[in-house]
C-alpha cells in the first residue's frame, strides 16, 4: 500500500512538472501561439496606422519653392526691411541670434547689396544638387565655404526636388514632411532652393533649376553654376577666372573629354557654368522641355547646339582634378582628368564620395591666402 501511495504521489509531481514546463517554456506550441497572437496585434496596429497615414490630413500640394534670402528681397525698401526685420531689430524670441543661425555668406544678403548688375559687375550663383536626405553633407559644405574670404560676389544654394516614396498612399505625408523640415532648415540657413520636380539625377532636375533661375533671378546674377555635393569648388580662384571672362556672351565653361574630336561636347556635371543669357534662353525656349530626361550635362550641351548657341564653349580641363588618393575612397570611379596633388588654381575637385575626402580637400584650399 505504501508503495502505491508513493507511486501515485510521484505521478502527480511529474504531471505538475509537465504542465509547468508546457506553459512556461518559450519553445512550446502554446508559447508560440501566444507570441503569434501578440505579433498579430502588432500587425493590426501597424495596419491601422497605415490606414491613418493614407487617410489623415488635407490634400498636400508639392512643397512650395523655398530659396535663399535673395528671393525674399524685393526692390522696395519696405519689403527689404520686412525680410530682415529680425536681424535689424534683434528680435530673439522668434529667431534667436547665434552663430548657427547665420547665413553661410551673410554679407551677400544684407540690405545694402544691389542685385541688378551693370556691365562692370559680376555675380555668381552656385547651385549644389543636394537631395533632401543629404543634410549631413550640406552642413559640411556650409561650414567650409563660410570660411572663405568674406565679400565674394557669390551665393551658394542647395537645390532639392520633391521626395518620392514606394508607397504612393503616403506621398502626401512624405511631401508634407519634407516641406516642414526644409522650412526649418531655411529658417536657419536660408539656402535651400526647391524645384518643382521629383528628386532625381536624370529626369529634369537641372532643367528645373535653370528654368527657375532664368525666370526669377536674371537681374541678380551674371553667371550660374551647376555642381554636385561630391564636388569641392575653389570659390575664390573661380571668381578670379570668371571675372576675366565676365563680359562674354554664350559663355559655357567646364571640362570635357580628353579626345581631340570630343571637345565640342558636354561639360561634365561635376561643375559647369553658363552666362545668364544662356540660362534665360533655357528658361524660355521650347527646346529644353522636349529633352529633359537622360544625363543632365549632355542634355544642356544638346540644348545649346540645337538652339545655335554653342559658339563659346570654354574647356578648362586643367581647372579640374580628382582626389589625390582615389584608392582611399571610390574605387570604381574612372578618373578622366589628371590626378595630381592639390593646386591653388584647381577650381573643382571631384568625386569626393566620402566625407573625409571632401574635408581633406577643403582643408587645403581653406589654408591658402586669398
pLDDT tens-place string over residues 309-336: 999 999 998 899 888 887 777 655 555 5
Backbone angles phi, psi at 156, to 5 degrees: -115, 125
Q: Rounded to an integer, what distance in angstroms lies between the CA atom of residue 347 and that of residue 73?
A: 30
Q: Name the CATH code of domain 69-80+98-366 (choices 3.30.1300, 3.40.50, 3.30.420, 3.90.550).
A: 3.90.550
- Work out whether the CA dihedral 114, 117, 120, 121 comes out positive or negative: positive
267 and 253 in contact (C-beta within 8 Å)? yes
- Ranking 51-65, 114-128, 246-260 by mean pLDDT, the lowest is 51-65
| Residue 34 confidence (pLDDT) | 30
Q: Which of 227, 237, 216, 228 is nearest to 279 (CA)?
A: 216
| Residue 324 confidence (pLDDT) | 82
Q: How far is CA 356 from the centre of its chain?
A: 18
65 and 215 in contact (C-beta within 8 Å)? no
What confidence category does residue 88 fall into, taking pLDDT thresholds of 50, 70 and 90?
Answer: very low
Is a pLDDT exceeding 90 seen at residue 79? no
Which pTM does this prediction carry? 0.68
**Which of 57-66, 77-86, 180-189 shows the highest mean pLDDT?**
180-189
154-162 vs 252-254, strand pairing mode: unpaired
355 and 329 in contact (C-beta within 8 Å)? no
Q: Domains of the chain: which residue ranges? A: 2-55, 69-80+98-366
**Between 307 and 68, the higher pLDDT residue:** 307
314 and 253 in contact (C-beta within 8 Å)? yes
Q: Rounded to an integer, what distance in angstroms lies between the CA atom of residue 22 and that of residue 19?
A: 5
**Between 153 and 38, the higher pLDDT residue:** 153
Q: Is 268 helix (H, G, I), strand (E, B) or coil?
A: coil
Is a pLDDT exceeding 60 seen at residue 107? no
Q: How much is the mean pLDDT over the chain? A: 74
What confidence category does residue 243 fall into, taking pLDDT thresholds of 50, 70 and 90?
Answer: very high
- Residues 51-68: what's their mean pLDDT? 30
Backbone angles phi, psi at 272, to 5 degrees: -145, 160
Amino acid at each position: 500500500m505504501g508503495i502505491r501511495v508513493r507511486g501515485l504521489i510521484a505521478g502527480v509531481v511529474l504531471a505538475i512538472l509537465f504542465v509547468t514546463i508546457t506553459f512556461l517554456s518559450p519553445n512550446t506550441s502554446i508559447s508560440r501561439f501566444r507570441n503569434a497572437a501578440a505579433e498579430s496585434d502588432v500587425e493590426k496596429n501597424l495596419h491601422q496606422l497605415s490606414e491613418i497615414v493614407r487617410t489623415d490630413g488635407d490634400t498636400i500640394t508639392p512643397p512650395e519653392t523655398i530659396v535663399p534670402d535673395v528671393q525674399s528681397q524685393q526692390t522696395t525698401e519696405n519689403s527689404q526691411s520686412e525680410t530682415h526685420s529680425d536681424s535689424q531689430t534683434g528680435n530673439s524670441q522668434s529667431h534667436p541670434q547665434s552663430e548657427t543661425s547665420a547665413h553661410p555668406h551673410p554679407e551677400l544678403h544684407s540690405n545694402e547689396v544691389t542685385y541688378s548688375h551693370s556691365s562692370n559687375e559680376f555675380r555668381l550663383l552656385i547651385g549644389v544638387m543636394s537631395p533632401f536626405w543629404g543634410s549631413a553633407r550640406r552642413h559640411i559644405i556650409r561650414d567650409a565655404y563660410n570660411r572663405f574670404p568674406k565679400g565674394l560676389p557669390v551665393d551658394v544654394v542647395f537645390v532639392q526636388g520633391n521626395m518620392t516614396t514606394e508607397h504612393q498612399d503616403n506621398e502626401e505625408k512624405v511631401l508634407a514632411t519634407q516641406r516642414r523640415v526644409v522650412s526649418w532648415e531655411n529658417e536657419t540657413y536660408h539656402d535651400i532652393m526647391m524645384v518643382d520636380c521629383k528628386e532625381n539625377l536624370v529626369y529634369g532636375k537641372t532643367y528645373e533649376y535653370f528654368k527657375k533661375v532664368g525666370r526669377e533671378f536674371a537681374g541678380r546674377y551674371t553667371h550660374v553654376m551647376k555642381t554636385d555635393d561630391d564636388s569641392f569648388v575653389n570659390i575664390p580662384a573661380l571668381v578670379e577666372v570668371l571675372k576675366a571672362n565676365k563680359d562674354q556672351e554664350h559663355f559655357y565653361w567646364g571640362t570635357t573629354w580628353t579626345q581631340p574630336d570630343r571637345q565640342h561636347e558636354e561639360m561634365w556635371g561635376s561643375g559647369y557654368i553658363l552666362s545668364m543669357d544662356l540660362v534665360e534662353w533655357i528658361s524660355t525656349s521650347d527646346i529644353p522641355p522636349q529633352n529633359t530626361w537622360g544625363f543632365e550635362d549632355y542634355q544642356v550641351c544638346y540644348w545649346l547646339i540645337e538652339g545655335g548657341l554653342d559658339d563659346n564653349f570654354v574647356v578648362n580641363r586643367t581647372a579640374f582634378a580628382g582626389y589625390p588618393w582615389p584608392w582611399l575612397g571610390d574605387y570604381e570611379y574612372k578618373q578622366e582628368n589628371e590626378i595630381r596633388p592639390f593646386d591653388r588654381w584647381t577650381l573643382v575637385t571631384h568625386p569626393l564620395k566620402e566625407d573625409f575626402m571632401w574635408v581633406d580637400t577643403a582643408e587645403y584650399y581653406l589654408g591658402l591666402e586669398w
